[in-house]
Amino acid sequence: MVKSYLRYEPAATFGVIVSIDSNITYDSTGKHLLAPALEKVGIWNVKQGICTKTLSPSTSSRGSSIAVTSIASSPSSLVASGYADGSIRIWDCEKGTCETTLNGHKGAVSALRYSKLGALLASGSNDNDVILWDVVGEAGLFRLRGHRDQVTDVVFLDSGKKLVSSSKDKFLRLWDLDTQHCVQIISGHHSEIWSIDVDPEERYLVTGSADPELRFYTIKHDSLDVEPVLNLQGTEAVSNGDSTTQNKWQVLTHFGEIQRKSKDRVGSLRFDKSGNLLACQMAGKMVEIFQVLDEADSKRKAKRRVHRKKEKKIAKGALSENGETDVVPKEEENILTVTVSDVFKLHQTLRASNKICSISFCPITQKSSLATFALSLNNNLLEVYSVEPTAITKAHTIERLGHRSVIRSVTLSSDNTLLMSTCHNAVKIWNPSLGSCLRTIDSGFGRCCSFIPGNKFALVGTNAGTLEIIDVGSGTCVEVVEAHGDSVGSIVMLPNEKGFVTGSADHNVKFWEYRQKPGQESKQQSVTNTRSLKMNDEVHVVAVSPDAKYILVALLDCTIKVFFMDTLKCFISLYGHKSPVLCMDISSDGDLVVSGSADKNLKIWGLDFGDCHKSIFAHSGSVMAVQFVHNTHYMFSVGKDSIIKYWDADKFELLLTLNGHHAAIGCLAVSNRGDFIVTGSHDRSIRRWDRTEEPFFIEEEKEKRLEEKFEDDLDISLDSRYALTEEIPEEGVVGLAGKKTKETLTATDLILDALDAAEVELNRMAEHKEEKKHGVQFEFQPNVILLGLSPSDYVLRALSNTQTNDLEATLLALPFSDALKLMSYLKDWSSIPDKVELVCRVATVLLQIHHNQLVTTPAARPVLTILKDILFARVKECKDTLGFNLAAMDHLKQLMSSKSDAPFRDAKTKLLEIKKRSESRNSTRSDAAEGSQEESGKKVESCFFFSSKP
């Protein structure tokens, strides 16, 4: 009989406030801060310090999780998040649901930006491409190629008609989105450009790199012929002296540079919503806040600068030979040039407590301050600052819910209700089932930890060689014992629950017993050293057999020494590892010992004779922790390859591979019943994995792993086989936004199957008609595969199930013969009002792909002729219907406004205000004018559901 096992699945992730791979941003209301948390996006209420919602993709639990690499907030409630696999998800912040997934990039998404209206989304990636997305249509419009290195930032100009992108190739590119071409390439930077931004009025564009200065550009709009601000007071002059014809495509004109104080490269540049402040965040700990002066103030500053310059000349005695001062010509007096230093003034400089990852301005400004901005730090911390006229003050900090550094150890209490974790400066007590932080205790550098029997106290072994006794209930450190002369690497409890053993890098193994402090009313836990065992090398791990007969010590010299507990005499030495042993555990029956080493191997030993049963190449990195499941010979191992593996130590077989962490896993804890495990990683996350009731078999898991490996290798070979041969992309090349994925190939197969089934059904129907004409009477039995639908509706169902974003890539994989079959159905579908947009899009894409073949194929001409007449009429009808509805709503809006003295406001905005007032406890009754306005707002709301037919 084949043995089955129970599967483990990811259950909870906690401990991460903000990850370092992505930026933070406020939502459109300014009440919540969106922070990346590895593969999730947390929505934080900063004032309350709680995460109100989490945007988590519903990925397969057996696949690896993908980290968030970029976040952008739209003017509405939508939020876009880019991931390391190149995908982009659009979320509804209010509902917390994923609206759509956009696949187009082949590398990690490095930049996201919404247009002002929120209808367009631009994304940049490590694959050097920029893709423009239609948010409303949930589809990609086109791909812009031209950059030779990773795209670092994008920004819209001129109401979404133009786009500026920056890259590590040291160039800025200005794209005209109407013509889909690059119209201006700007050089000047001597290093990689890391960030760009434009002020809300689109007067200035600023770029930041590793250069010691910020570069500023003025923006020429289509309605203006010359650059504003540069030349004031009287006559205007073009700064470069070029003619209008030469400046036709020169939208960005170099304005000047401002020297930065910090030597670190620029991390990000952001204007606040009012455009009065510019924040320059460095890759280090500094943020420079610049004040943007208005036109009048910049003129006055320029005048003072010119006046001071003139006074200096006079003071130096700039006299002519005849003793008279030089007179400035009137032409120079009438032309006043405003420089970049006259517009941008350094206001304040902030130095944070740790390295800054990103910055975001809050759209809401408090009355007492100029602006509010949030910082994400690389030590898992969020800070909010208020910019005041004289200083920058810290307003809020979110730090309690996560560790400041790498998690070094985790351990569970005996009843599995508490979880303790340590890092370089703190100990945290968690509820493992809820993932909530119960206590945070200041501590030394905790290398190992363990609960004392009874779970009222806990022990922490530190890097300084001390033992800290923690009172779990009060969350305080009651005593610090000077235990060793070097770091304590291991704490293991004795089976009799009367003491414990510690191993240290000072070559000593010490035995300890519990005792109560004398002369104290309350029972305070203390420990005393009873005996010691001197080793000839550093001790890494200590383990005690369940029957307390043996003690095992793993040393730096790659050996494991087995001693008798009573006499401390050496019983046997275990040799075989080529690198130091980092972890070790003994099965609950005392028969097996498993050891993990920096040589990436697991070794299973028999404790009776000390023989090595099996050596397994377990991980692609060092094995950091290994532990048996209680009362079984199953074991878990974790390593620096960020993978958890589940083993059968009797069969020496790999049972499961669990992916989820984004960095090396350093510690592991298994519950007493084996119903869940907890892992701690260098990505500062703690994850719980629960055992389910779903059984699995070893052979099936082996086949799945082989299939996944084969598919990955196939994808890599296909990508390399059909990759572009040129290293440098062509100038102005525009490509399809989508890309070929497993989903698009599956959708293509479904459409092909539907076309074949429909063709067979149509042939059967035709044969039935012929037989009916010849007098053969029998009832036609439709094919059950078509689910009771007509052939046309069955094909339409398969086509409609395709994701909007994947439609182009799906149709691109169709052969010409099947594309021709598909086009023959478009005539019937165009009569369905809801499918007009889909039909037009399918017809357009197929015509673009197969244009040459369609033109030269006689059978395709009747289809194209019919579609030309039908589709134009249907699109015009839909357009007229929408126009009629919009005109009707506009007319009703005017009627409602004329009947009420209160100003008309949009119904949706009004409904949101009503909802907020009803939820507020201290709200008061609205006056009569607001009541009439509410009634008119409800009437207009009904207009938004106006009939789709005129």
Q: What are the pLDDT digits (tens) for 600-640?
A: 999 999 998 889 999 999 999 999 999 999 999 999 999 99
Q: Which segment of 535-544, 573-582, 634-643, 927-936 scores lowest on mean pLDDT? A: 927-936
Interval 423-436: pLDDT, tens: 988 999 999 998 89
Taking the whole predicted model, whether its pTM rises above 0.75 is answered as yes
Neighbours of 570 (CB within 10 A): 11
Give the mean pLDDT of 333-350.
83
Q: Which fold has domain 409-534?
A: Methylamine Dehydrogenase; Chain H (2.130.10)
Residue 257 has a pLDDT of 92
Average pLDDT, the chain: 84
- The token duo for 388 is 């005041």
Amino acid residing at 746: T
Residue 897 has a pLDDT of 76
Beta bridge partners of 371: 387
Is the pLDDT assigned to residue 926 strictly greater than 50?
Answer: no
pLDDT tier for residue 65 given thresholds of 50, 70 and 90: confident
Residue 259 CA to residue 241 CA, distance in Å, equals: 26
343 or 739: which leads in pLDDT: 343
In our burial notation (b when 16+ CB lie closer than 10 A, e otherwise), range 586-615 reads bbeeebbbbbbbbbbbbbbbebeeeeeeeb
Interval 727-765: pLDDT, tens: 445 555 677 777 777 788 888 889 999 999 888 888 888
CATH superfamily of 148-221+252-300+340-351: YVTN repeat-like/Quinoprotein amine dehydrogenase (2.130.10.10)
Strands (E) across 56-192 are located at 68-73, 78-83, 87-92, 97-103, 109-114, 120-125, 130-134, 139-145, 151-157, 162-167, 172-176, 181-186
Is the pLDDT assigned to residue 142 strictly greater than 80?
Answer: yes
Residue 731 has a pLDDT of 56
**Which is it for strands 33-37 and 25-26: parallel, antiparallel or unpaired?**
antiparallel
Give the mean pLDDT of 158-174.
92
Going by the DSSP 8-state scheme, the letter that residue 785 receives in this structure is: G
CB-count burial class (<10 Å; 0-12, 13-18, 19+) for 390: exposed
pLDDT tier for residue 441 given thresholds of 50, 70 and 90: very high
Residue 933 has a pLDDT of 43
Interval 444-460: pLDDT, tens: 999 999 999 988 999 99
Measure the N-to-C terminal CA separation of the chain; round to a whole number of Å.
70
Residue 483 CA to residue 467 CA, distance in Å, equals: 6
Give the mean pLDDT of 519-528.
70
327 or 835: which leads in pLDDT: 835
Give the mean pLDDT of 395-399.
89
Give the mean pLDDT of 782-809.
86
Listed in sequence order, the residues at least 6 apart from 463 whose beta carbon sits closer than 8 Å to its beta carbon are 444, 445, 446, 447, 487, 488
Interval 456-496: pLDDT, tens: 999 999 999 999 999 998 889 999 999 999 999 999 999 99
338 or 26: which leads in pLDDT: 26
* Chain center to CA of 276: 29
198 or 939: which leads in pLDDT: 198
Q: Which residue has the tokens 């290293």?
A: 727
User: Among 73, 84, 157, which residue's Cα sits nearest to residue 125?
Assistant: 84
Residue 232 has a pLDDT of 39
Is the pLDDT assigned to residue 388 strictly greater than 70?
Answer: yes
